[in-house]
Amino acid sequence: MSEEKDPLLMSHEADGIKELDNNLPRWWVWLFNLCIAFSIVYVLYYHVLNMGMSSAEAYDAAMKIANEQKAAAIAKFETDMATMEPSTDQAVLSAGQKTFVTYCSPCHGMEGQGLVGSNLTDDYWIHGSEFKDTLKTISEGVPAKGMLTWKDQMRPSEIYAVGSYIFTLRGTNPPNPKAPENEITTPAIDAGMFE
């Protein structure tokens, strides 16, 4: 008995598996067309007419704005330094202490007694004893002598915090102090003044 052949049945067959030549669903065809239309618009917009920014350009633009903001913040900080007073706020000081232990103690010692870097607890200062001198030295560094330029890596608020913290180390007389590297530049500080 011969079966009537399904007009949708395609001629090929593999291991008894046959295929019907159905129309594609309408929703699928429309999605496909839409994708093609979108890709044409996309190529025109981004690559032919160059109207949109590529990811790399968007990154550069964002970095440019961020660098300007950073430069402005540093410029403001450099002006403000002249009149800043060391913070006595515990939160600021403990943030400063964390920074000191992480970044400064390898060269200045855990107690600021000095190692490769100078003693920060005595009355002998190479770059000035006032708080503004401390901030400036931390911010600018002394690259020729191995003191890093921290404004490249730290926010002004972090420099202010660590500067305030090391200010509290003055006059603490830790053991094994590094020998003075300059004439006395500040009047002796009463060790008790920060207690």
Q: Binding residues for ligand HEC, per CB under 6 A?
A: 99, 103-104, 106-108, 116-118, 120, 125-127, 134, 137-138, 142, 145-148, 150, 162, 166
Q: CB under 8 Å, gap of 24 or more: what pairs does 103-110 form? A: 103/150, 103/162, 104/162, 104/166, 107/146, 107/147, 108/166, 109/174, 109/176, 109/178
Minimum Å distance from CB 111 to ligand HEC?
Answer: 13
Please, which residue, 107 or 189, has the CB nearer to ligand HEC? 107
Angle at 66 between CA 64 and CA 69, to 5 degrees: 110
Please, which residue, 92 or 126, has the CB nearer to ligand HEC? 126
Name 9's Cβ contacts closer than 8 Å, sequence gap at least 6. 18, 19, 20, 21
Please, which residue, 67 or 153, has the CB nearer to ligand HEC? 153
**Separation CA 92–CA 90 (nearest Å):** 5
Minimum Å distance from CB 58 to ligand HEC?
Answer: 33
Minimum Å distance from CB 171 to ligand HEC?
Answer: 14
Please, which residue, 95 or 147, has the CB nearer to ligand HEC? 147
Minimum Å distance from CB 188 to ligand HEC?
Answer: 16
Q: How far is CA 15 from CA 6, 9, 18, in A?
A: 19, 15, 9
Please, which residue, 54 or 173, has the CB nearer to ligand HEC? 173
Name the amino acid, one letter, at 153. Q
Minimum Å distance from CB 79 to ligand HEC?
Answer: 19
Please, which residue, 81 or 138, has the CB nearer to ligand HEC? 138
Tokens of 17: 């598996």
Minimum Å distance from CB 175 to ligand HEC?
Answer: 19
Other beta carbons within 10 Å of 33: 10
